[in-house]
Amino acid sequence: MRKYLSSLMYSAIILAFFSWEYSIYLQLALASLTIFGLIWGVARSDIRFNVIIQPYSLMMLLLVIWAFTSIFWVADRTSWIISNGILAVTLIYGVSLSWLIREKLFRQHLSLVIIGIMIVHHVIGWFEVLSNQQYGAAERWSFDWLRQLHNPMLFFGNINDFALLCFFGLIFMMCWHPLDDKLRDMDGQYFSGFRTFENYSKTKTLALVSFKLLMTVSSLLLIYFANARGILFAAAYAMVFYLILHIKSAWLRRIVILFLGFICLVTVLMVYTDILDALWQDGSFVIRYNLIRNGWHHLKGSHYLGVGAGNTEYYMEHFNYYYTGGYRVMHNWWMGMLVEYGLPFFILYGVYHARVFLYAYYLAVKYDSQTGKWVATWLLGFIVAGFIPNTLFNFVWFWFIHNFVFVWFEYRLSTMELTDRALGLEFKLHYKLNQFSEWLDRKLVKEL
């Protein structure tokens, strides 16, 4: 059963990152096969509910229920069906991943699959850059012959979406270390994907460090050549934050954070007028600003319940209060979530995002957890990076990143034997979930 679900998961991940117009139908087929495997695993008692019922799974379940409920007020039911299909696929894969990720070999292979995907996209990105003389300029997309090649636009449809993938790869590669069963990771347990280089041979260490450095630099350069300025800024401050997490002294770390915050504040105040003038002269910024204003009008018109799953584009097209240059997509993950799913779920998601970040930061500074550093850095960076991409709600590849980060961290947190009062609420939540899962297992056994 584990091999069956693992094969489906690898296939779905690869398909998501190299998708085309009709690949969603293949994703639905793979998700259906995954449901069959999960049901069969539960029936055979191979899969227990206390493993797959996690806070992230519950949040995604609530999102799916709320998205389905919006059928009563949506205007575009075709987009609603597509959006709900993608959310259902995401939930199914997330539940399956919650069970699979507990196996060491799967974690190792999953890391290698992600890295392999990054390498392929980097090769594609560099081929596109080097085959055009207009490095980093928007005009390089105007070559008709280049559009026919396997460039990032073929799989992502937008340079900002490709830059976001490079941003994720940047954070992942900074934290990733290959699996070696002779070593324990920074968290004190065997855990593939994030490791130290202790006891490695000089040749192996040099090769690994060189590879990590090459991928890190390549990610930054591809983000720059894609002209994704917001994501480049997010990458810069995420890298600074990651370095700060390595400061052992708590008081020194706080001083550095306050000092950098003060420098940033003074810099912004000194050049505030110049920055504001430059932004208002940037047509892209004005359009994004007007998209937010339109979205706010639609949100208020829905009584803050949201316009419904997949219906943002419909409202942007038919009820355009401010000039947006013909753009219908929100170009903003956070505002898109608020407009589509309303204020209640936006608050729920924001609380969950903050909860995971705070726990990850706590584990990073308290226990020197490399996993905590990775998750905290990505979540903090995405706060800014989420304002940049075209749209992410209808792309399975981004939901895989979501599943990957949150499910991995939920698993890591559940395996750590911590007694700190700061995590008391977390353990109470897991205890209640385990009680419910055990009751559900007993109920099913009696019925069978």
- Residue by residue, DSSP assigns 225-271 as HTT-HHHHHHHHHHHHHHHHTT---HHHHHHHHHHHHHHHHHHHHHT
The span from the CA of 37 to the CA of 305, in Å, is 35
367 or 440, higher pLDDT:
367
Using alpha carbons only, give the angle 390, 395, 396 rounded to the nearest 5 degrees. 155
CA distance 83 to 309: 6
pLDDT at 148: 40
pLDDT at 192: 39
Summary mean pLDDT of the chain: 77
Tokens of 433: 């979930």
Q: What is the pLDDT of residue 109?
A: 86
Six-digit token pair at 250?
């708590």
Higher pLDDT: 137 or 445? It is 445
Average pLDDT of the residues in 376-403: 86
pLDDT for 131 equals 72
Tokens 């019925």, residue located: 447
Can you tell me the mean pLDDT for 203-214? 81
The span from the CA of 235 to the CA of 119, in Å, is 19
Q: Is 30 helix (H, G, I), strand (E, B) or coil?
A: helix
pLDDT in tens, 306-325: 898 888 888 888 887 787 77
Give, in order, the Cα–Cα distances in Å from 323 to each of 283, 287, 388.
11, 7, 19
pLDDT in tens, 83-136: 899 999 999 999 899 888 888 888 888 888 999 999 988 888 888 777 764 333
Q: What is the pLDDT of residue 246?
A: 81
Structure tokens that stand for 106 in this block: 């799967």
In percent, how much of the chain has pLDDT > 90?
A: 16
Write down the pLDDT at residue 273.
61
Contacts 24+ apart (CB under 8 A), 210-215: 212/173, 212/174, 212/176, 215/118, 215/119, 215/122, 215/169, 215/170, 215/173
SS3 content of the chain, % helix, strand, coil (to 5): 75, 0, 25
In b/e form, how buried is each residue of 255-286, taking b as 16+ CB within 10 angstroms? eeeeeeeeeeeeeeeeeeeeeeeeeeeeeeeb
Per-residue pLDDT of 397-439, as tens digits, reads 889 998 899 998 888 877 765 544 445 445 455 555 566 666 6
Type and span of the H or E element at 134: none
The pTM assigned to this predicted structure is: 0.81
Q: What are the pLDDT digits (tens) for 277-291?
A: 655 556 567 788 888
Report helix, strand or coil for 138: helix
Q: Could you read off the pLDDT of 15-48 as tens digits, one per residue?
A: 888 877 678 888 889 999 998 888 887 777 677 7
Convert the pLDDT of each residue in 58-81 to its tens digit.
Answer: 889 999 999 999 999 988 888 899
